[in-house]
Amino acid sequence: MALAPNVGVLIAARALIGFSVGLIAAAVPQYISEMAPARARGRMVATYQLAITVGIFVSGLIGIVELSDTADGWRVILGVIAVPALVFGIAMLVMPNTPRWLVAKGRVDEAREILRRTEGEPECDATLDGIVEETKDLEDSKWDDLVRPRLRPALTVGLVLAAAQQLTLIDGIIYYGTSIFRDLGFDTAREAEVTSLVGIYLVNMLATFIALPLVDRFGRRPLLLLGTGGICISFVGAVVASIEIADRKAAGVPVGSTGWMLVASVSFFIACFAASWGPVVWVMISEIFPTRERSKGIGLCTSVNWSSPGWAPS
């Protein structure tokens, strides 16, 4: 995109990036869930969401750098995307295949070696025996298996979680947080951008980091319930603050501290989401499907998740 000579090439490159990100979004949670030992699977899969929040924070940091004032500033900003992509590509060249994939391809000895490195010697053979049993009929998996009675509950849970994660309006806050803060009456656009960087992007990253050990310690369901309660409280605070701000503006009165109440409510929402719905949904989606249908289940849930912002009322 950074080297695009015209709009057509820019759009085509963006479409290619979108397609590639879609593939990665479905593959990464499955890869991590199959590589990580059971005792650490929750926090390991949650690192996927942590990586996303780090990327959002870095993009926000780059966004406030004064590059847009130069003729080719946008090319520099888009070109930065190539750096993490290059690092990711090089890293994947040395990453091993998952034990389940190796067993499915008949490479049991290689799978045993990988498990010895990730699980440890005592659990290695027992885990391998379980994988061999799970992958016996892997090649016979079909898409319509997902809607059979035995998998229908897992599919329903996965699709609802995937859609509900976006229906929290997280993308609306991430995308338009700066505009919201600018409307509060900050003296400059830079102040609104910095407030968004700290109050949204930084809080998002830190809360996700804090959530990593909690996923396995407290469990998936308790975190979702606590996060949902916190999100509801933050919405109430945001609504009350927004009504007060609208009344003050209509009366020609300065917004004052009410604006900071809205900022605090938005930051609290981000913290609650990042500590629960953000990472936990990906952990659950990677765990609820049997090995035989896991790739198709994760792929379908990921598609619903990524397409939901288009119809979520952001």
The whole-number average pLDDT for the span 182-188 is 71
Q: Are 61 and 197 in contact (CB under 8 A)?
A: yes
| Coil/strand/helix, residue 135 | coil
Domain locations along the chain: 7-95+141-310
Q: Are 171 and 309 in contact (CB under 8 A)?
A: yes
Q: Which amino acid is at 284?
A: M
Give the length of the chain: 314
Residue-wise pLDDT for 112-160, tens only, equals 888 888 877 777 878 888 888 777 666 666 777 788 888 889 999 999 9
Q: Does pLDDT of 8 surpass 50?
A: yes
Residue-wise pLDDT for 217-244, tens only, equals 888 899 999 999 999 999 999 999 888 8
Q: Are 245 and 237 in contact (CB under 8 A)?
A: no
- What is the DSSP secondary-structure string of 100-167? HHHHHTT-HHHHHHHHHHHT-HHHHHHHHHHHHHHTTTGGG--GGGGGSTTTHHHHHHHHHHHHHHHH
Q: Are 275 and 210 in contact (CB under 8 A)?
A: yes
CATH architecture of the domain 7-95+141-310 equals Up-down Bundle (1.20)
Cα-based distances in Å from 311 to 1, 163, 209, 298, 306: 27, 10, 29, 21, 11
Q: Are 305 and 241 in contact (CB under 8 A)?
A: no
Query: How far apart are alpha carbons 158 and 117 in whole angstroms?
Result: 31
Residue-wise pLDDT for 154-168, tens only, equals 999 999 999 999 888
The whole-number average pLDDT for the span 47-68 is 80
Whole-number average pLDDT of the chain: 84
